Structure 1
Amino acid sequence: MAKKSQVKSYSKDEFLNLVKEKSGLTKADATKALNAVFDSLEEVLAKGDRVSFVGYGSFEVGHRAARDGRNPQTGQKIKIKASNVVKFSPGKVLKEAVNK
């Protein structure tokens, strides 16, 4: 794995260019496709359902309970509200690709 300073962060536009090149779609069509995937993923997770891509991984909603915390600047105790969080569990194929 690359050092932290060598890790590239892709913007949505840069990622869209990769999708466009790999799929042969126009940039407009790749944008529509990627937006449709993100919108659909958001819709399914908002209902509390799970999305699984065999080999790649799965997305699901978890619950984080309310808890006490501290303001790091002042040290003052604060209450942190309960919230839902998105969890991603990578699948075998993705794990193997990352660990080549």
Structure 2
Amino acid sequence: MTKSELILRLSEQNPHLYQRDIEKIVTTIFDEISEALARGDRVELRGFGAFSVKKRDARVGRNPRTGASVHVTQKFIPFFKTGKQLRERLNTE
């Protein structure tokens, strides 16, 4: 599902709201999650999961084409851990 599909589905479920208002709400939520992660905070949505940032240390890697050693700087990557309710919902038979 893309962001535009999410907005469309929400507007269909809530005909009393304008689509532009729903778009602002969805954009604001995603922006706040992104800003929190950029600050290094953890974002938890109960029943859905938690977003956090993990640090990858600097290391020496290899260029797969030439085999030469390459210095890779430290990086921060987003990490998502699913919540218990989401895992149970996905694994019901």
The TM-score by the shorter chain falls in which range?
Answer: 0.7 to 0.9
CA distance in 2, matches of 1:83, 1:30: 34
| Structure 1 portions without partners, runs of 5+ | 1-9
Partner of 2:45: 53
Among residues 18, 21, 29, which one is paired with 1:29 in the alignment?
A: 21
Of 69, 72, 75, 1:83 maps to 75
Task: From the superposition, tell whether residues 22 and 72 of structure 1 become closer, same or farther in structure 2 (CA, over 3 Å).
Answer: farther
Question: Secondary structure of the equivalent of 1:38?
Answer: helix
Long gaps (5+) in structure 2: none
What pairs with 1:2-13 in structure 2 (closer than 5 Å)?
Answer: 10-13=1-4
Q: Cα gap change, 1:32/1:72 in structure 2, threshold over 3 Å: closer, same or farther?
A: same
TM-score by length of 1: 0.77
Aligned amino acid, residue 90 of structure 2:
V
Cα distance between partner residues in 1 of 2:48 and 2:41? 17
TM superposition score normalised by structure 2: 0.82
Residue 15 of structure 1 is matched in structure 2 by 6
Structure 2 match to 1:6: none
Q: Which has the larger radius of gyration?
A: 2
1:21-80 Cα distance to aligned partner (Å, 9 max, x none): 334443212211111011101111111111111111111111110111122222222111
Aligned partner letter, 1:11: T
